[in-house]
């Protein structure tokens, strides 16, 4: 039940960290792993494989492979969960976890590795429990915009007007010196991820929303906080089946162990005793029926052309149904086209947009920097075909959309108030409450 | 001198510089460089004597890294041990528990048998340390010592000491004891778990970390239940752990639960139903590696408790951003979850994956549709029709993949077979560029080509254009196709078959060659006999 080695490598195969716990491996596990990676490619490298009686398990985050090797039979769920935990602890200490951050904090990472696992057995794996044993101070690395996987951090990148963009990449764990001149801030983010398939007629054929209330507390003294959610929020098991209305219905929700659930049942309040580090106080899944109105809709028309031409003219209209005072950013539409298309030309009706044609995977990519709520955008795209075969609209099967809608939750979950119970009342806490809905997989069928 | 050696010499020079040694920040910096080199696999054994001195450094961080260095390097330089033992032993009595723990860990990691007496001394002291941090490390250091000299651990009564520490007040100490005993007593079957201990452990569960819980649950699998009453007692306690926030604890509880009710198989599905929410939230967690592992776990139950998962089939739908390996795994499961109720929805979903950018994903979606078509005659026509629609996509790879799926199906009952064959025989696609696609295409013409008038001409044209450049696999398929067509339409195909057989008999490829001879032989026996063998071979079983 023990693990033998943990190592971190970049996708290029540079080993950044290598920690042996048992010195019992007779083979070079790193070389075997990297070799495997080269052979099958990152798209098809399974998170878990067994080779020569050794089990290799990894998670891939921000261009890094975090890898564990063991000669025991251990379930992949256990290993993956542990690696994920390790990643979050590193994130709590270093702010962000990427190649630069690891290089800059190499000693810190070794310290963490020494405390969370002893002789291959996992010991402590929460940030606050490890904190007392860590000596080194984190070295901050300036983050580029974090990749898509880290939604929580992305949030900070968007709303530069209200919070400094580097806030997310600050470590949660602070040194004593810092503690004194640090602002007393608390960040509460309501993040909803949406999986949806929208039919050509605008009806939703499938929708699935998972939400997460993420808390990151920099309050000194770790006071208890109280979060009040919408009062009209109902849980599926409690609500009457025929009970339609404007309220939010959740299929299921679960809480972090530091949350007192009793208050939630009575008054929809979360009383939280925040631990050190970033954590999700509550996760929930929205009921899939009655379906929500889709926040975006796409209409595609084929425009008439002189019959001799083998080109096809498409008109794309993207409608936003999110409230007027909100906006979606970093919107990307990916339109896969058949191999007969050799080029495109386009005409757009607004600034801050581009349409590109990726020949390598035959995709048209329409990027929109900012897309205000309750408006629409049009793109006219001409598909040029040199092969003499005209592309028909029905050869385009679906369009994938990516977006980040800030200030908006598709479910309507809201935080009515956030109270900080600071016994000494020594400071006025800065409270940042933010909402965001992001696409996990948002597809228009044509 | 190469760069690494220059680097090492540079570090040595700095380590000898008193001003640097007095500056903790500079020292840490230097150590970071060393650790970096170890990670990259550079030989740093020359540094050993210099780093050994740092064990006594006042900065705890520098000391820590020096210890880490010693652990890694101990095998490469045996002199190192002599340099460090005394300093480590001294630190084992330090006033700070952190230092005591650190030095005990380092000392016991010296993998040199001559150190075992020292280690034993330190472990024994550590096991009774008043700091739980040190006790935790001491327990696992006993296992390290056991690896170095097993007899010493057994003789000195450490096993008994560990058993008594199972009652320790620190939950991590308790779990470490169990793990240590399990490993030390491996040859005798590991730690002995009696009834009293089972209850003790189960009731202390909430105190353990989730990793500790997972370890304990794994160890409890060794215990055999004594009575039915006890079974239900224990199941009641376990039940609370089926709704955990940690998936590993959940999974281990479930496994234990199922083990305990293996004599009561009717309960299995009920238990799984109770866990449905956990499965669903795991599948929707957004952590791709976790989702993948949970799917692999779920696959264990698909054979006998499918119905639980048929209900949450939507959780197995793919998301756009998921890596191909995960999508493929999900797609392979979907056909097993089909019920009359969700059939259309799953089919529609799979149809969408068929136009994925990754051709491996789209191919597996097509294969999944093929799988579903075989499950029920009601599904058959709709599935095949969906596949047929795909042929309209002007993409050679899609075409080839769809045909390969068709190759695996018995299409004779398909209502629109004529029409389908018409599309397939649109000659322009029959080219040897895509080998698998071409073989499938030839197979289909052989199998169903008699429905069309012009299929012999298509083959004729193909032979005329490509026979020379064809690889032998394609030729084998071609031969079979022509043979089948000949048996159905002798007049039109005779000359084709004759020409082809001539080429194939002369081939050096064994398969092709023997196939050709085989056909000669069959034809000699008379057309009826050949028909019997060649045409009925496939779907009759």
Domains A151-292+408-445 and A296-406 share a fold: yes
Which residues of chain B neighbour A337 with C-beta distances below 8 Å?
A: none
Give yes or no for B43 touching A (CB within 8 A): no
The string of pLDDT tens digits covering residues B309-323 is 998 999 999 998 899
CB neighbours (10 Å) of residue A83?
A: 24
Q: Reply yes or no on whether the pLDDT at B31 is more than 60.
A: yes
Q: Which fold has domain A296-406?
A: Immunoglobulin-like (2.60.40)
Q: Reply yes or no on whether the pLDDT at A160 is more than 50.
A: no
Q: What number is the average pLDDT over the span A243-247?
A: 57
Please report the pLDDT score of residue A142 as a whole number.
Answer: 66
Closest-CA residue of B relative to A124 is: B209
Partner-chain contact B394 A338, CB within 8 Å: yes
Which residues of chain A neighbour B211 with C-beta distances below 8 Å?
A: 82, 122-123, 125
Partner-chain contact B176 A118, CB within 8 Å: yes
Partner-chain contact B144 A119, CB within 8 Å: yes
Please report the pLDDT score of residue B122 as a whole number.
Answer: 94
Give yes or no for B242 touching A (CB within 8 A): no
Please report the pLDDT score of residue A114 as a whole number.
Answer: 94
Give yes or no for B433 touching A (CB within 8 A): no
- Does the predicted interface ipTM exceed a cut of 0.95? no
Domain boundaries, chain B: 425-541
Q: Which of residues 52-81 of B touch A (CB under 8 A)?
A: 60-61, 64-65, 68, 72, 75
Mean pLDDT computed over every residue of chain A: 83
The string of pLDDT tens digits covering residues A74-86 is 999 999 999 999 9
Please report the pLDDT score of residue A245 as a whole number.
Answer: 56
Please report the pLDDT score of residue A217 as a whole number.
Answer: 82
List CB contacts of B102: < 8 A, sequence separation 6 or more. B63, B64, B67, B91
Q: Reply yes or no on whether the pLDDT at B277 is more than 90.
A: no
Partner-chain contact B176 A43, CB within 8 Å: no
The string of pLDDT tens digits covering residues A287-305 is 766 677 889 999 998 887 7
Please report the pLDDT score of residue A152 as a whole number.
Answer: 42
The string of pLDDT tens digits covering residues B50-60 is 898 899 889 99
Confidence of residue A108 (pLDDT cuts 50, 70, 90): very high
Burial class (CB in 10 A: 0-12, 13-18, 19+), A50: exposed
Q: What number is the average pLDDT over the span A227-231?
A: 88
Q: Reply yes or no on whether the pLDDT at B492 is more than 90.
A: no
Which residue, B5, B8, B10, B35, is CA-closest to B20?
A: B10
For chains A and B, CB pairs below 8 A equal 197
What's the CA dihedral at A121, A124, A130, A136 to 10 degrees?
20
Partner-chain contact B321 A148, CB within 8 Å: yes
Give yes or no for B42 touching A (CB within 8 A): no
Please report the pLDDT score of residue A159 as a whole number.
Answer: 34
Q: What number is the average pLDDT over the span B152-169?
A: 92
Give yes or no for B453 touching A (CB within 8 A): no
pTM of the model: 0.87
Q: Which of residues 195-224 of B touch A (CB under 8 A)?
A: 209-211, 214-215, 218
Which residues of chain A neighbour B277 with C-beta distances below 8 Å?
A: 252
Which residues of chain B neighbour A15 with C-beta distances below 8 Å?
A: 39-41
Cα-trace Rg, chain B: 35
Mutate to test the interface with B, among A107, A205, A388, A393 (most CBs of B within 10 A): A107
Confidence of residue A165 (pLDDT cuts 50, 70, 90): very low
Q: How far apart are the CA of A426 and the nearest CA of chain B, in angstroms?
A: 34
* Terminal alpha carbon distance of chain B: 73
Q: Which fold has domain A5-133?
A: Beta-Lactamase (3.30.450)
Q: What number is the average pLDDT over the span B175-201?
A: 93
List CB contacts of B113: < 8 A, sequence separation 6 or more. B148, B149
Residue A249: phi, psi to the nearest 5? -110, 125
Closest-CA residue of A relative to B247 is: A77
Please report the pLDDT score of residue A182 as a whole number.
Answer: 62
Give yes or no for B441 touching A (CB within 8 A): no
Please report the pLDDT score of residue A408 as a whole number.
Answer: 87
Domain boundaries, chain A: 5-133, 151-292+408-445, 296-406
Partner-chain contact A285 B140, CB within 8 Å: no
Mean pLDDT computed over every residue of chain B: 90
Of B64, B182, B251, Cβ closest to residue A75: B251
The string of pLDDT tens digits covering residues A254-299 is 888 888 877 888 788 889 888 877 888 898 988 766 677 889 999 9
Confidence of residue A126 (pLDDT cuts 50, 70, 90): confident
Please report the pLDDT score of residue B1 as a whole number.
Answer: 57
Distances from the Cα of A287 to the Cαs of A239, A265, B239, in angstroms?
A: 11, 18, 26
**What is A151-292+408-445's CATH superfamily?**
Mu homology domain, subdomain B (2.60.40.1170)
- High-pLDDT (> 90) share of chain B, %: 53
Partner-chain contact B64 A114, CB within 8 Å: yes
> Cβ distance A320 to A376 under 8 Å?
yes
Least confident of A64-73, B18-27, B421-430: B421-430
Q: How far apart are the CA of A193 and the nearest CA of chain B, in angstroms?
A: 9
Q: How far apart are the CA of B135 and the nearest CA of chain A, in angstroms?
A: 12
Partner-chain contact B321 A441, CB within 8 Å: yes
- High-pLDDT (> 90) share of chain A, %: 36
The region, left, alpha or beta by phi > 0 then psi within -120 to 50, assigned to residue A374 is left
Q: How far is it, in rounded angstroms, from Cα B146 to Cα A43? A: 43
Q: How far apart are the CA of A18 and the nearest CA of chain B, in angstroms?
A: 5
Q: How far is it, in rounded angstroms, from Cα B329 to Cα B292? A: 8
Which residues of chain B neighbour A43 with C-beta distances below 8 Å?
A: 323-325, 358
Token pair of B352 as six digits: 């969408």
Closest-CA residue of B relative to A134 is: B61
Least confident of A380-394, B191-205, B331-345: A380-394
What's the CA dihedral at B93, B96, B101, B102 to 10 degrees?
-100
Q: Reply yes or no on whether the pLDDT at A154 is more than 70.
A: no
Give yes or no for B288 touching A (CB within 8 A): yes
Please report the pLDDT score of residue B414 as a whole number.
Answer: 92
Please report the pLDDT score of residue A149 as a whole number.
Answer: 37
Which residues of chain A neighbour B40 with C-beta distances below 8 Å?
A: 14-15
Q: How far apart are the CA of B417 and the nearest CA of chain A, in angstroms?
A: 23
Of A43, A80, A136, Cβ closest to residue B324: A43
The string of pLDDT tens digits covering residues B219-249 is 999 998 888 888 888 888 888 888 777 899 9
Which residues of chain A neighbour B32 with C-beta distances below 8 Å?
A: 106-107
Please report the pLDDT score of residue A146 as a whole number.
Answer: 41
Mutate to test the interface with B, among A16, A81, A236 (most CBs of B within 10 A): A81
Give yes or no for B100 touching A (CB within 8 A): no
Please report the pLDDT score of residue A174 as a whole number.
Answer: 59
Least confident of A98-107, A420-429, A434-443: A420-429
Residue A137: phi, psi to the nearest 5? -90, 140
Please report the pLDDT score of residue B136 as a whole number.
Answer: 95
Least confident of A195-209, A235-249, A323-337, B495-509: A235-249
Token pair of A167 as six digits: 């806030």
Q: Reply yes or no on whether the pLDDT at B520 is more than 80.
A: yes
């Amino acid at each position: 039940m023990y693990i033998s080695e943990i190592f971190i490598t970049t996708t290029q195969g540079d080993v950044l960290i290598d920690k042996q716990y048992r010195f019992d491996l007779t083979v070079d596990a790193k070389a075997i792993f990297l070799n495997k990676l080269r052979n099958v490619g990152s798209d098809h490298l399974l998170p878990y494989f067994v080779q020569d009686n050794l089990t290799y398990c990894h998670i891939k985050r921000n261009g890094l492979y975090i890898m564990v090797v063991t000669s025991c039979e251990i379930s992949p769920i256990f290993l993956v969960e542990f690696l994920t935990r390790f990643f979050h602890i590193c994130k709590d200490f270093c702010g962000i976890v990427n190649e630069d951050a690891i290089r800059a904090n190499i000693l810190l990472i070794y310290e963490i590795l020494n405390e969370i696992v002893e002789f291959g057995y996992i010991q402590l794996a929460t940030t606050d429990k490890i904190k007392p044993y860590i000596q080194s101070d984190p070295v901050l690395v300036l983050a580029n915009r974090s990749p898509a996987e880290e939604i929580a951090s992305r949030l900070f990148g968007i709303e530069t007007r209200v919070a400094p963009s580097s806030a997310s990449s600050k470590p949660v764990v602070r040194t004593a010196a810092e503690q004194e001149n640090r602002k007393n801030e608390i960040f509460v983010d309501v993040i909803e991820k949406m999986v949806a398939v929208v039919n050509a007629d605008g009806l939703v054929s499938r929708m699935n929303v998972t939400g997460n209330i993420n808390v990151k507390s920099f309050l000194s003294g770790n006071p208890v906080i109280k979060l009040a959610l919408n009062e009209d929020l109902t849980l599926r098991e409690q609500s009457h089946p025929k009970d339609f209305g404007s309220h939010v219905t959740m299929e299921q929700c679960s809480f972090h162990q530091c949350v007192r659930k009793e208050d939630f049942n009575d008054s929809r309040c979360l009383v939280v005793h925040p631990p050190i580090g970033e954590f999700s106080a509550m996760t929930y899944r929205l009921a899939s029926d009655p379906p929500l109105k889709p926040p975006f809709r796409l209409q595609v028309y084929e425009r008439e052309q002189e019959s001799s031409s083998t080109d096809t003219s498409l008109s794309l209209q993207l409608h936003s149904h999110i409230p007027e005072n909100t906006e979606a950013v970093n919107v990307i539409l990916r339109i896969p086209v058949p191999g007969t298309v050799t080029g495109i030309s386009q005409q757009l009706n607004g600034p801050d947009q581009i349409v590109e044609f990726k020949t390598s995977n035959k995709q048209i990519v329409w990027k929109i920097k900012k897309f205000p709520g309750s408006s629409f955008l049009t793109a006219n795209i001409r598909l040029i075909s040199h092969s003499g075969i005209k592309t028909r609209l029905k050869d385009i099967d679906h369009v994938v959309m990516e977006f980040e809608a800030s200030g908006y939750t598709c479910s309507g979950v809201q935080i009515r108030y956030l109270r900080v119970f600071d016994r000494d009342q020594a400071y006025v806490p800065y409270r940042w409450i933010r909402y965001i809905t992001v696409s996990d997989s948002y597809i228009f069928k044509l | 001198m190469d760069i690494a050696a220059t680097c090492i010499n540079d570090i040595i020079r700095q380590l000898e510089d008193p001003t640097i040694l007095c500056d903790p920040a500079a020292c840490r910096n230097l150590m970071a460089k060393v650790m970096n080199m170890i990670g990259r696999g550079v030989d740093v054994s020359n540094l050993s004597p210099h780093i050994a001195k740092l064990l006594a450094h006042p900065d705890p961080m520098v000391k820590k890294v020096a210890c880490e260095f010693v652990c890694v390097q101990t095998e490469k330089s045996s002199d190192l041990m002599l340099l460090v033992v005394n300093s480590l032993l001294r630190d084992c009595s330090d006033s700070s528990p952190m230092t005591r723990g650190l030095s005990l860990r380092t000392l016991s990691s010296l993998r040199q048998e001559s150190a075992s007496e020292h280690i034993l001394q330190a472990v024994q002291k550590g096991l009774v340390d008043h700091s739980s941090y040190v006790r935790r490390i001491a327990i696992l250091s006993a296992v390290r010592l056991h690896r170095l000299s097993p007899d010493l651990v057994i003789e000195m009564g450490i096993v008994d000491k560990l058993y008594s520490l199972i009652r320790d007040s620190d939950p991590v100490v308790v779990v470490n004891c169990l793990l240590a005993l399990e490993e030390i007593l491996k040859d005798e079957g590991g730690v002995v778990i009696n009834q009293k201990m089972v209850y003790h452990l189960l009731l202390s569960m909430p105190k353990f970390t989730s990793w500790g819980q997972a370890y304990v649950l794994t160890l409890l699998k060794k215990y055999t239940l004594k009575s039915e009453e006890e079974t239900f007692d224990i199941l009641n306690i376990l039940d609370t752990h089926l709704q955990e926030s940690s998936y590993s604890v959940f999974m281990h509880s479930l496994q234990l639960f199922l083990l305990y009710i293996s004599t009561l198989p009717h309960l299995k599905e009920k238990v799984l139903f109770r866990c449905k929410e956990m499965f669903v939230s795991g599948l929707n967690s957004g952590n791709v590696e976790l989702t993948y592992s949970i799917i692999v776990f779920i696959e264990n139950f698909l054979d006998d408790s499918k119905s639980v998962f048929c209900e949450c089939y939507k959780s197995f739908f793919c998301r756009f951003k998921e890596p191909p390996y995960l999508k493929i795994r999900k797609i392979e499961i979907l056909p097993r979850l089909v019920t009359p109720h969700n059939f259309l929805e799953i089919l529609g979903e799979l149809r969408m994956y068929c136009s994925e950018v990754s051709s491996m994903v789209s191919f597996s979606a097509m294969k999944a549709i093929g799988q579903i078509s075989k499950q029920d005659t009601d599904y058959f026509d709709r599935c095949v029709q969906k596949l047929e629609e795909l042929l309209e996509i002007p993409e050679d790879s899609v075409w080839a993949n769809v045909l390969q799926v068709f190759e695996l199906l018995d299409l004779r009952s398909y209502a629109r077979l004529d029409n389908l064959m018409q599309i397939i025989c649109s000659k322009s696609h029959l080219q040897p560029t895509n080998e698998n696609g071409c073989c499938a295409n030839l197979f289909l013409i052989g199998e169903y080509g008699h429905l069309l008038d012009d299929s012999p001409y298509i083959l004729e044209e193909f032979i005329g254009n490509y026979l020379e450049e064809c690889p032998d696999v394609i030729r084998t398929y071609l031969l079979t196709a022509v043979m089948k067509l000949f048996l159905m339409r002798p007049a039109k195909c005779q000359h084709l078959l004759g020409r082809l057989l001539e080429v194939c008999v002369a081939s050096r490829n064994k398969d092709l060659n023997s196939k050709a001879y085989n056909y000669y032989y069959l034809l000699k026996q008379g057309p009826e006999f050949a028909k019997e063998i060649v045409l009925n071979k496939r779907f009759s079983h």
